[in-house]
Structures are given as C-alpha cells and as structure tokens.
Amino acid sequence: MAEKIPESFHTKASLVVYKDCKETRDKVGTMETTMTTAVPKLTTLHPRISFNSFSLRFSLTFPAKKTALVKHTCSPSHIPLRVSASSQSQAAVEATKVSSIPSEMKACVYGEYGGVEVLKFDDKVSVPEVKEDQVLIKVVAAALNPVDAKRRQGKFKATDSPLPTVPGYDVAGVVVKVGNQVKELKEGDAVYGNINEKALEGPKQFGSLAEYTAVEEKLLALKPKNLDFIQAAGLPLAIETAYEGLERTGFSAGKSILVLNGAGGVGSLVIQVCYSKQKSYFQLDLQLDLSLIYLHS
C-alpha cells in the first residue's frame, strides 16, 4: 500500500556564521532552527524516458504541455547560451544550408593548462577529420559542465587529449557529413548527445565549443522535435549521470530515494527518471547540518 505523503516536512538545521569568506575564517556563532517546507507537488508534465542501457543512447518524449517542464529540466547551469527563439531557429536553418565544409572554423581553445585566462577565441582552428564511424556536426548549441573547467585546469593530464584542446561535451546540431560506416544518421539530421563515450579516458581534442565537431554515430540521438537545440544541448551529460547513478545503486520500484540538490542539473533529472519509472518516493523528516558562509562583515 502506498505511503501517505504529508503536505509538509520539518528540517532541523544548524547554521554556522562566519566573519568573512577567507581560507581562515573567524567563527561568529551558531544558530539552530527548524524549518517547515512544503512537499513539492509532482506534475503530470514529466517526460517519458527510454534508455538503451548498453550504449546509454536515450530519447525523450513530452506531453503536449511541455513549456513549464522544459524550463525545469534544463538547469541554467547547463545552458550557457542565451539566444532568442527566432535567432536560434535561424541558426538551425543556416546549419542545414551548408553547401561546402570549410577547412577552418571558429572555436574556444586552450593551449596550456590554467585558469580562465588560458581559454582563447580562435577563428583559425582546423575542422576535425571525420572517421568512418563518425558524423560531422554543424554545432547550433553547446553546454558547459564542471568537467570542462577541471580539464582546463589540468586535473586529468594523464588521460586527457593533447593540447591545444577545444572543450565541450554536450552538443546539439545538424549532421553535414557522414563516415563510410555510419548506418542510421544522414546529412541534414538534427542530433544531440555527449560527444565523449568515456568522460576522462581520452576525451576528444575537438569538443563542442566550436562551429563543427566530429562524433561517433553511436553517441548521438535524433533531437526530439518538441525540444529546441538549446534545450537539447543542456541534457546529455547530466541525464546520463543521473541514470548511471540510479543504475549503480540498484534502484527499483518501492525503494525510497533521497535526492539532495534536486533543483540542480543532475538532481532534477534524477527525479524525472524516477518519476518516469514510477519509482519516485520522498524521504521525509530530514536531519541536516548546514554550514553557511554569510556575507563579509
């Protein structure tokens, strides 16, 4: 029998107040409080998500009222681009009109490891060669993930791609060239996906933050017609992380799942996947210790 879910739950929190935000902080004091939070209402707008667990290729279909859901599932942290619907549509149209592929492209590149200052804009980057099992994508939208910054900082030098590197995992765009072994995708197809099969083991030298990127066919899916390119680019790596995390924990119907930071890119999609499989349960009566850093005194 389904557990009755109350309308609200209580959270006990210990707030630690600091004098400033430096490495060595002076503790000012603590405060204990109990917060009452309304249990979020699940809507009927959640997507139906289907997976091929072997390749992690996925597709999404949404009910008719998709606008509110799309804004929820595509976390702003995963959608760095800000364009209007009209300008984005024009970009998609222009992508399908490519009659000849140039030898050089515009891209964000870093030739050494370091902070954001090493990331440069270069309009003379060579367009990547297409292998037999790959397609060349004219990029319409791309998204950033934390791993992009960590690679730039040199945290994975042993297994990373050679320098110079064009960062970027998530992509949405239009196929403009196909390799000899490509079986399903064709020129003109609107696609999206995570271009790196293994996130940290030999990621591509030419990522998605460029005008073109070459990707294996097996890593891509056709873009759903009810998602635009920006929304599609915000999904791949986050939803793969969400699904793989649930798979590794052996989640199944009837189990309780606690999602911390459920409003983030991965957390919100964990909830979506659970709900789509009718495995969404909330753990109530939370006991939390929150360490908060306040503004400078």
- Starting from the edge strand earliest in sequence, which strands make up the sheet with 190-194, in order? 212-216, 134-143, 170-178, 190-194, 220-222
| CA separation for the pair 95, 189 (Å, rounded) | 10
193/215 Cα distance (integer angstroms): 9
The token pair that represents 122 in the structure block: 């270069």
Report pLDDT digits (tens) over 67-117: 222 222 333 333 333 322 333 455 555 555 555 899 999 999 999 999 999
- What is the rounded distance in angstroms from the CA atom of residue 78 to the CA atom of residue 119? 19
Q: How many CB atoms lie under 10 A from the CB of residue 261?
A: 10
Q: What fold, for 80-227? A: Quinone Oxidoreductase; Chain A, domain 1 (3.90.180)
d(CA 206, CA 91): 21
pTM for the whole structure: 0.62
Would you kindly state where each structural domain of the chain is located, as residue ranges?
A: 1-39+284-297, 46-78+234-281, 80-227
The Cα–Cα gap between 295 and 17 comes to 9
Q: Whole-angstrom Cα distance, residue 158 to residue 155? A: 9
Write the pLDDT tens digit of every residue in 228-271.
Answer: 999 999 999 999 998 888 888 887 767 777 888 777 888 888 88
pLDDT in tens, 3-23: 566 665 554 444 444 444 444
d(CA 188, CA 18): 56
